[in-house]
Amino acid sequence: MKPKIVYTVVLFLILLVSGCSHITTLRTEEIREVGSAVRKDVKEELHMRADSLEKVIDSLSKAQDLINRRMIAELTILANRVADESERTDSRQEEILYLLGMLIGKSDKILSKKVVVTQIAGGTIALDSIEQEAEKLQELEAMFNTARSDYLRGEHKLAYDAFKQIYEESGKKGEYAEESLYGMAQCLESAGQKDKALTLYKAFSKQYPESSIVCTVLFKTSSILAENGDTAGQKNHLQQLLETKKCMNTNEYLQGGAILQEMLDAN
């Protein structure tokens, strides 16, 4: 082979190798650029997905918080309803027990009066007046039970009027008169008219000092006087409560004694 031809072949091979190397370099750079672009795209995609996931989590958290609040609110409402229903049930039971006791007591009195007889000229006759009185007691009992039910239902004005009617029709004497006067005072106190209730409580303790509920009346009187800032009056009624023998085994006696002792220690 001639030298010129050899030189040409060598030159061609050099150019070929150089061209391949340049092409390889270009491809490598292209691959790197593509890789960088892919990584950038992937990174951006991951960021977008992370942001989207964070928003979803935040949304779920808010939704869960709302659900929790609703559950707490519903549970609170339910608890209040249960408490109210329990209170109404207790009031009904108290009313039933109270009316049952009244019914038993009054029935015994009515039966005992119906069998009262008198001897006139060797004969035995029933007294019409006693039967009339028994009927009147039955009417008063029905009126009292209705008034008591109205009071327990919170109908204080309606109950007050009924108690007042019973008090007047009973002639202000007897158990119904005592219970009705006390009921009137209770209605006024529950309606926020404590000064008027205080007047009736004081009248009760003077008019019915031997009543079975005088201990409760004296304690209530002292409590209202305490609210009014009448310390002297409060002490006076607490001492009167402690001096009443029938009150010795009552809760009012124990509470009144403790309060009076605290007042004396404070001085």
| Residues 238 and 203 sit within 8 Å (Cβ to Cβ) | no
**Which of these ranges, 120-129, 153-162, 187-196, 218-227, has the smallest mean pLDDT?**
120-129
| CA atoms of 196 and 228, how far apart (whole Å) | 13
Show me where the domains of the chain are located: 1-85, 129-266
In order, the DSSP letters of the chain are --HHHHHHHHHHHHHHHHHHHHHHHHHHHHHHHHHHHHHHHHHHHHHHHHHHHHHHHHHHHHHHHHHHHHHHHHHHHHHHHHHHHHHHHHHHHHHHHHHHHHHHHHHHHHHHHHT-EEEETTEEEE-HHHHHHHHHHHHHHHHHHHHHHHHHTT-HHHHHHHHHHHHHHTTT-SHHHHHHHHHHHHHHHHTT-HHHHHHHHHHHHHH-TT-TTHHHHHHHHHHHHHHTT-HHHHHHHHHHHHH-GGGTTSHHHHHHHHHHHHHHHH-
pLDDT band at 151 (very low <50, low <70, confident <90, very high): very high
Per residue in 71-92, pLDDT tens?
675 566 566 556 555 655 555 5
User: Residue 115's pLDDT is what?
Assistant: 45
Q: Which residue has the higher pLDDT, 61 or 248?
A: 248
User: Residue 58's pLDDT is what?
Assistant: 73
Q: Which residue has the higher pLDDT, 98 or 239?
A: 239
**Which of these ranges, 69-73, 172-176, 191-195, has the smallest mean pLDDT?**
69-73
Domain 129-266 has CATH 1.10.357.10: no
Residue whose token pair is 């027990």: 97
Angle formed at CA 186 by CA 185 and CA 187, multiple of 5 degrees: 90
User: Residue 145's pLDDT is what?
Assistant: 94
Is residue 189's pLDDT more than 80? yes
User: Residue 14's pLDDT is what?
Assistant: 58
Q: What is the pTM of this model?
A: 0.54
Q: Which residue has the higher pLDDT, 133 or 13?
A: 133
For the chain, percent of residues with pLDDT exceeding 90: 42
For the chain, percent of residues with pLDDT exceeding 70: 56
User: Residue 122's pLDDT is what?
Assistant: 45
Is residue 39's pLDDT more than 60? yes
Other Cβ atoms closer than 10 A to 2: 7
pLDDT band at 120 (very low <50, low <70, confident <90, very high): very low
| CA atoms of 267 and 264, how far apart (whole Å) | 5
pLDDT band at 123 (very low <50, low <70, confident <90, very high): very low
| Residues 156 and 190 sit within 8 Å (Cβ to Cβ) | yes
Would you state the structure tokens that stand for residue 200, as one six-digit string?
A: 């009736």
Segment 48-76 mean pLDDT: 69
| Residues 196 and 181 sit within 8 Å (Cβ to Cβ) | no
- Mean pLDDT score of the chain: 76
User: Residue 51's pLDDT is what?
Assistant: 73
pLDDT band at 55 (very low <50, low <70, confident <90, very high): confident
User: Residue 132's pLDDT is what?
Assistant: 75
| Residues 148 and 159 sit within 8 Å (Cβ to Cβ) | yes
The distance of Cα 233 from the centroid of its chain, to the nearest Å, equals 33
Residue whose token pair is 């108290």: 94
Would you state the structure tokens that stand for residue 113, as one six-digit string?
A: 């009066």
**Dihedral sign of CA atoms 192, 230, 222, 163 in order:** negative
Q: Which residue has the higher pLDDT, 22 or 171?
A: 171
